């Protein structure tokens, strides 16, 4: 099984791509602040899930990488809040992206709390 088949990875990847498309419309002056940061944090969620899956023979590393992923997901939510408050995205777009992020968070917490289901030996 590949990390790409994990529901958390798939949803996080979808969210990162949705954010990429949405952030294309952000103002030029936000390129190196909001646009760059929200793209980085959303992509980092995926990267950390992939790393965690590869580290599943080391339970503490597995949980640590998933915790990093969850932190990046929270950072993404913070940047989404800024984008919304600055008027760069509509309230409907914010709600759609935020809900997707919440779903990712729930999946990450499931993975953290149920490591045995993902091949982690305890």
Q: Is the separation of the CB atoms in 50 and 9 below 8 Å?
A: yes
Domain ranges of the chain: 3-114
Q: Is the separation of the CB atoms in 90 and 12 below 8 Å?
A: no
What pLDDT is stored for residue 121 in this prediction?
Answer: 82
The fold of the 3-114 domain, in CATH, is de novo design (two linked rop proteins) (1.20.1440)
pTM for this predicted structure: 0.95
Question: pLDDT tens digits, residue range 59-105?
Answer: 999 999 999 999 999 999 999 999 999 999 999 999 999 999 999 99
Q: Is the pLDDT of residue 122 over 80?
A: no
Mind giving me the DSSP string for 8-37?
A: HHHHHHHHHHHHHHHHTTS-GGGIIIIIHH
Q: How far apart are CA 14 and CA 78, in angstroms?
A: 18
Q: How far apart are CA 61 and CA 53, in angstroms?
A: 10
Contacts (Cβ under 8 Å, ≥6 apart) of 1: 119
Q: Is the separation of the CB atoms in 63 and 119 below 8 Å?
A: no
């Amino acid at each position: 099984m590949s990390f790409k088949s994990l529901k958390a990875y798939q949803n996080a990847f979808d969210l990162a791509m949705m954010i990429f498309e949405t952030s294309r419309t952000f103002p030029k002056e936000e390129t190196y602040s909001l646009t760059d940061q929200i793209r980085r944090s959303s992509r980092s969620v995926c990267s950390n899930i992939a790393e965690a899956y590869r580290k599943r023979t080391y339970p503490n590393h597995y949980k640590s990488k998933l915790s990093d992923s969850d932190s990046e997901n929270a950072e993404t939510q913070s940047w989404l809040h800024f984008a919304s408050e600055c008027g760069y995205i509509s309230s409907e777009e914010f709600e759609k992206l935020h809900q997707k992020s919440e779903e990712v968070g729930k999946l990450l917490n499931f993975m953290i709390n149920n490591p045995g289901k993902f091949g982690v030996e305890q």
